[in-house]
Amino acid sequence: MNTPILNTISEPADLKKLSLEQLTQLATGMASARNLEGKNGNVMAVIDDGSLSGGLALEGLNIASTLKSNLIILVNDNGMAIAENHGGLYEGLKKLRETNGQSSHNIFKAMGLDYRYVENGNDLETMLKTFKEIKDVDHPIVLHVHTEKGHGYEPAVDHKEAFHWHVPFDLATGKTLHPVTGETYTDVIHEQLEKEFTAGTPITAITAAIPGTYDLKRFGKKHPKNYFDVGIAEQESITLAAGQAKMGLRPIAFESGTFLQRAYDQLSHDLGINKLPVTIMVSGGSISAGDPTHQGIFDLAMLSNIPGLTYLAPTTKEELQAMMHYALHQNNGPVAIRVPSNGVHSAPLADFDAHRMNVLHAGQKVAILGVGSLLPLAEEVQQQLDVDATVIDPRDVSKLDEKTLIDLKKNHQLVVTLEEASLSGGFGEKISRFYGNTKMRTLNFGAAKRFNDHETTAELWHEFKLTPEQIVTEIKANL
C-alpha cells in the first residue's frame, strides 16, 4: 500500500506522556490547529470506555462536535476500566453494544457527535475496512468499537483486573513473578478499617477506579454498602466524600498521589473551605523514575499548601493507624495521610499528638527531621555523625509545630530536613522560612523539581544527595 491507511497526525506519539483520559481534549486542540493552519490530515483520538467517566474526557467530547471538521474519536469499549466500570453512562454503552449501536441512549449523539458502531473490534479485517471507510470523514465522529480485554490470551481474559497490576508474569500460567509477601501497609490500613467499622465509626471507602492500589475490594466484599468505586473520576471521589461527610459519615478516599491532582480544586474548595472531615489516603510517595505521569513526589507541595487541610506523614504501622483513628474522629477538616513508601516499620507509640513533632532522640547542635519514609535515613545519618544529633519525626507536614522548633534554638545550630518529595513548595522550605531571620542554619534534602523518566532509583537518590554519607558530609561542612 502506497499511502498509509490513516493519514493520522501522529504527534501524540511524539509527546513524552499523556493519560488516555486527556486524548480527546488533545485531539480538539490538534484538529482546531490543523483547521486554522489550513492543513489536511486526519486527527484521531483513541480512548477507552473506562476513561469516559473522567470529567476531562467528557469535556473534550463536548467541544469536539463544535469543530465541524475531521476528527475521529475511537472509543475502545472492552467493558472495563482498570477494574469494572461504574456509572450511568456504562448502562448506555451496554445498551449500544446490545443493539449493535441502535439504542437511543447514545451519549455521543446527545453531545452532538456523529456515531458509528463496530461490533468485532478484535477482528483485524473488520477494523482495516472500517478505518478505510472512515478516513477523511469531514466532521467529528465517534467510532464505538467493541473489543475484548486480553483477547487471545486466556489468563488475561479470565483475570481482567488482576492483569492491570501483576507484571511481570509467567507466560504459561499468567501468574505474577513478584508476589507480595509479608505484612504491607495495605494490611495495616485494612486492620484499622476493620477496627473502626467494628467500633461503629460510620466509615465509607471510596476509590476512583484503583481498588487494586489498596486491595480495597477486601473491604468492599465485606461491607458492600460502605464501598464506593466512582470509576476514573477523581473529582467525584473527593466531592462524593464531601457530601457524605456533611451528612455525618466518615468517608475515606483512597487515592494515588498523581491521580489525586485531578481533584486539586475539590480538595481546596469543597474540603478546605468547608472544613469537611474527609480522610484521604495518599499512596505512591516515592522518589523513583519511570512513567512521568505516575511520580509521587509532587503530592507534598500540592496538599501541604491547601488551607484547612492537614497532611500527615506516618513513619510506622502504629503511627499510621493512630493517624487514621485521629482523622476519623476529629472535626477540624480534611486530613490526608501519606502512606509510607518503604517497608512496614513498627515502634511503640506514646503520647500521640498528630500535630506535635515526635522527638525520638533529643541531642544537640544538629536536628534531623525525617519525613515519613525518610525517618530511617535520619536515624542512619544520626548514627554516622560525630555529634549527638537530635532525630525528629515531624508527623504534620502542613503546619509547623512551632513550640518544638523554638525549643531547638536553645542548643541547636543546624536543622536538616529530609523528605521523599519535590523540595519545591514542600516541607523543608517551610522550616527554612520559619528560621529565616534567626541564627539557625537549615539544610533541605529532597527531590529536584522535575519529572524523572529514565534514571535508576539509585542514581536519583545519589543525585539528590539522599545517601547517609552525602548527608553526613553536607552536615559536617555546615557546622
Q: Which of residues 447-466 bind a copy of itself (CB under 8 A)?
A: 449-451
Residue 388 is a binding residue for a copy of itself (CB under 8 A): no
Residue 4 is a binding residue for a copy of itself (CB under 8 A): no
Nearer to a copy of itself, 127 or 408 (CB): 408
x-or-dash string of contact with a copy of itself, 49-78, rule CB under 8 A: ----xxxxxxxxxxxxxx------------
Q: From residue 74, how far is each of 27, 60, 248 by CA, in Å?
A: 11, 13, 42
Assigned C-alpha cell, 282: 495518599
Nearer to a copy of itself, 44 or 188 (CB): 44
Nearer to a copy of itself, 132 or 450 (CB): 450
Window contacting a copy of itself (CB under 8 A); options: 6-14, 182-190, 192-200, 455-463: 6-14
Closest-CA residue to 154 (of 128, 141, 172): 172
* Nearest distance from C-beta of residue 190 to a copy of itself, angstroms: 20
3-class state of residue 274 by DSSP: coil
Window contacting a copy of itself (CB under 8 A); options: 14-22, 72-80, 328-336, 368-376: 14-22
- How many residues in the shown chain lie near a copy of itself by CB under 8 A? 119
Residue 22 is a binding residue for a copy of itself (CB under 8 A): yes
Nearer to a copy of itself, 202 or 212 (CB): 202
In angstroms, how far is CA 74 from the centroid of its own chain?
26
x-or-dash string of contact with a copy of itself, 185-224, rule CB under 8 A: -----------------x-x--------------------
Of 257-296, which residues contact a copy of itself (CB under 8 A)?
261-262, 264-266, 268-270, 272-275, 292-293
Nearer to a copy of itself, 226 or 390 (CB): 226
Residue 146 is a binding residue for a copy of itself (CB under 8 A): no
Q: From residue 247, how far is each of 184, 201, 251, 473 by CA, in Å?
A: 33, 14, 10, 54
| Residue 210 host element (H or E) | none
Q: 46, 84, 101, 112: which one contacts a copy of itself (CB under 8 A)?
A: 112
3-class state of residue 436 by DSSP: coil
Q: From residue 456, how far is each of 20, 292, 374, 449, 462 by CA, in Å?
A: 26, 13, 19, 17, 10
Tell me the C-alpha distance between 23 and 56, whole Å: 9
Q: From residue 355, how far is each of 141, 276, 313, 358, 385 by CA, in Å?
A: 54, 18, 11, 9, 28
Nearer to a copy of itself, 66 or 346 (CB): 66
* Nearest distance from C-beta of residue 155 to a copy of itself, angstroms: 30
Q: What is the DSSP letter of 149?
A: T
Residues 419, 371 contacting (CB under 8 angstroms): yes
* Nearest distance from C-beta of residue 65 to a copy of itself, angstroms: 3
Neighbours of 51 (CB within 10 A): 23
